[in-house]
Homo-oligomer: A and B are copies of this chain.
């Protein structure tokens, strides 16, 4: 029997080190250390969900039943089938973690630059680290006859002496608890300060003093090691929350929840309509708060942070989401001329909103720019730091309402284009959200002209998600099964092109490979929905560039934000004309930039200030009454574009592919 030697398992990305004996089962070792993996088969080696990836060292493992050799050689192991035999460094991908009711995080995309966390975080350069949420431990001298200043003065004086903090504002509830707290703790307390500003319509660019320290909590003894905040991305579809350990600067964990407002409408317009019904606004506000509280509940389970330990929340959301969260009437967001109630609502009491955090906690809603350019975009612009750069960058967040920002340190132009739900799998016959069983990667084998696809979590196909749809259409375009005008090439005469109830259809997945045993297909209406969506996006960039007299060649970086962006295959997006045909290296995926920006607010008062003036620096271009946008839109209603000179690398490929597969398809029938 082998000696019971102890080895170290280092778990990425959390940097957690656990100890395991020789021969210990890796799944057991991780579970025993409180790291829960998804293992719905209970460790039987069947479900293939407890996937981890080797980064250094090796384990004694058997390949999974359904695992490919490539996958195994790339370092993927099933934890339940692996035993520890030495020091090892493993990475646990997000999708292997247990997160009940949590949306599956997807794999890195195969093209474009997927920036590392470190690279993403260093996009915004040149700010001073000066946290906006501080915990400070103070030792106060007890009162004497010669020094009998009020308790609050004693505390404020020490903060001024030791930390240079002045102009302290204090919550009444802190004052009510203060005298007992100070005396019970023998005058050794930890104070929590936030740098906050109340609702404010104007913040002058130079006026940093607008943010004043506010004392929201006094605890007995030294609690500086328990210091947490929550960064929230309030999406129309998904709410993401990330607990930050401000004592270490680490992100503890991230949880995603479907925004339960969605039951009242899939997009912001239907939410606004619902809000106008009697009681509708209160209901929607309650639903998003319920979702936030679910996120907080998961965080408590998954990373050991009690809701009452959350002292502050930052919420980045689009303008409608921000209005609904604060229970501000969104009615005029959707009526011309599209007027928000406020763009820069200041910090509000989380408790007043119904949020289950510390009763002293504040929620800071990210400032917005206009009715359809919200806090999520300011957050992204802050995160990517494009407002500080010499070179010009394009920032895009693709979705039902796609937001676009172009700019550099001298100018910022924003716009929002209504793309419709196609990018989120909506309005498509076999469309679905990016969940298990959604077709994501899709190829036509150039040799056989047969379709090959992968689904999320490798489940039987249930539908096509937004990014999958782009891949599907790009493949069919290149195969000549879809024409540049969006029509299905019925002349191809391959079995996958067929006549359906609403005209011609192309089969994406045969019945045998689907969950329900029914083939998945696209019809021309579906293709047209995507065509319109991509045309709106492309017209958006083009119009903004024209506005400042630039072309795509002037763009140094294209930052693609959002989960959708993360799974986008750049080459295919260019093929259909969603993205411009420029140097592929310029495309950079920044992931959930909204969450990233929300997180960055904690690192520096300068960034907080930047966030508030970004809205004023940005010129918002409205497309709804913009005739150039309409012209660009019409010009883009073609795969990839009516002007093929704009897509030199694509047009030849489509032409070649078309001929080839059309021939083969015809040959197949002979």
Contact = CB atoms under 8 A, between A and B. Distances in A.
A341 B200 contact: no
Contacts of A207: 167
Question: Which of A143, A331, A371 counts the most B-chain CB atoms under 10 A from its CB?
Answer: A143
Interface in A308-367: 326-329, 331-332, 336-343, 345-346, 348, 352
Interface in A98-157: 143-145, 147-153, 155-157
A172 B325 CA distance: 12
Contact of A172 (B151, B157, B348): B348
A145 B198 contact: no
Interface in A188-207: 198-202, 204, 207
Chain A interface extent, by class: 35 or more
A169 B155 CA distance: 27
A168 interface: yes
Interface in A150-198: 150-153, 155-157, 160, 166-172, 175-176, 178-180, 183, 198
A352 B152 CA distance: 21
A169 B346 contact: yes
Copy number in the complex reads: 2
A337 B171 contact: no
Contacts of A147: 337
Given A145-B625, A326-B175, A341-B179, A200 B168 contact: yes
Nearest to A183: B332
Question: Which of A160, A178, A199 counts the most B-chain CB atoms under 10 A from its CB?
Answer: A199
Contacts of A625: 145
Contact of A155 (B200, B201, B338): B201
B201 A157 contact: yes
A454 interface: no
Contacts of A198: 169-170, 214
Given A170-B342, A345-B175, A625-B145, A201 B152 contact: yes
A370 interface: yes
28 contacts: A143-B337, A145-B336, A145-B625, A148-B622, A149-B339, A150-B201, A150-B341, A151-B332, A151-B339, A151-B341, A156-B201, A156-B202, A167-B200, A167-B207, A168-B200, A168-B202, A169-B200, A170-B200, A170-B342, A175-B326, A175-B328, A175-B341, A175-B345, A176-B326, A176-B329, A179-B329, A183-B332, A198-B214
